[in-house]
Structure 1
Amino acid sequence: MKGASDDHPVTYQDPDTKEKMTHGTADGRKACLHHCLTYTATQAIVAGLGARALGIRVHPGVAAAALALSFGTHYIADRRVPGKGLLEKLATKTGKGDFYHLADYGINGAFHLDSAWHHGWETLAALIATAKATTR
């Protein structure tokens, strides 16, 4: 996909990557919103196809709630505005501030903490999505 970042070919466009953390600007909010919408749409498509392939019927309302949780938690975490973002504040309060700011030795602490945050919420969203699931 032209213009896409190498590591996230569906959900990241280069302008989104650069702009989503810009605090207090419409462009920053728009870029983060675009990223989160494409991310959530991708989740919905892949989860829907996976459920169908496995013969699982997911309740639409429960699936929508799970996707809303994933979208909301993704958006608030990805507005990683230096000194003001949720993840940086959480990292600082839990004694992980140095790791959050680490950008040496091939490690990006903010990226790793961001991924852990998302995986935790995705797991909860998956549990919610399957709460009323049945077989076909």
Structure 2
Amino acid sequence: MLAAVFATVFIALYVGHSVGDHWVQTSHQAAHKGDRGWAGRLACARHVATLTVTKCVVLAVIAALLQLHVTPAGLVLGLGVDAVSHHWADRRSTLLSLAGALGRGGYPEYVTIVRKPGEEADTTGPGTGAFHLDQSWHILWLGIAALIIATA
């Protein structure tokens, strides 16, 4: 039964993440969440707050419809761990520093995309190495959050 709860919670969190990270996040948050100083921290915090609410709504609907047994403590702990990990990564310099420390620093620089002919290569947006590292980091923590929620 725990395996089914874990799998269902993970799917719900993944759906909520996809919607919250790409549809709910504002253009301002996306452009400024990595900025230095309080303005960047605030943009990132607002993004993480709306993202977490989105995940919570999706999970609540699925849990109610499928009558999943999840505890309030598990939800708070799991979603809290996920939110902290998401904020940490979305400040951008943190995740790129970790990639460099692990010998993956060349990946975000190498995997680029040219959006329009004649433009400089984009190293941060969708389809780039930095974006792939960002999303895989988030998916890792979705799995950890789902495990916490399912077992708490």
Residues 85-115 of structure 1 deviation map (CA, whole Å, 9 limit, x = unaligned): 2211111112211112232367311110000
- For 1:125, the equivalent position in structure 2 comes to 145
Q: 1:48 & 1:88 partners in 2: Cα distance?
A: 33
Q: 2:114 & 2:104 partners in 1: Cα distance?
A: 17
Q: 2:151 & 2:60 partners in 1: Cα distance?
A: 15
Question: TM-score, normalising length from structure 2?
Answer: 0.74
One-letter amino acid of the structure 1 residue matched with residue 130 of structure 2: A
What pairs with 1:25-104 in structure 2 (closer than 5 Å)? Answer: 26-80=38-92, 85-101=93-109, 102-104=111-113
One-letter amino acid of the structure 1 residue matched with residue 62 of structure 2: G
SS at match of 2:138: helix
The count of aligned residue pairs is: 120
- For 2:29, the equivalent position in structure 1 comes to 16
Q: 2:100 & 2:22 partners in 1: Cα distance?
A: 27
Q: 2:94 & 2:29 partners in 1: Cα distance?
A: 18
Identity among equivalent pairs (%): 35
One-letter amino acid of the structure 1 residue matched with residue 69 of structure 2: R
Q: 1:86 & 1:15 partners in 2: Cα distance?
A: 20
**RMSD over equivalenced CA pairs, Å:** 1.5
Q: 2:59 & 2:113 partners in 1: Cα distance?
A: 35
Question: TM-score, normalising length from structure 1?
Answer: 0.82
Shift of 1:36: 0.3
Q: Which gives a bigger RCO, structure 1 or 2 (Cα 8 Å, sep 6+)?
A: 2
Shift of 1:118: 0.3
| 85-94 or 108-117, which deviates more | 85-94
- For 2:129, the equivalent position in structure 1 comes to 109
Q: 1:75 & 1:54 partners in 2: Cα distance?
A: 30
Residues 22-48 of structure 1 deviation map (CA, whole Å, 9 limit, x = unaligned): 012x21111100100011111111111
Q: Which runs of 5+ in 1 are unaligned?
A: 1-6
Q: Which runs of 5+ in 2 are unaligned?
A: 1-20, 116-126
Q: Which has the higher helix share?
A: 2
Q: 1:44 & 1:67 partners in 2: Cα distance?
A: 8
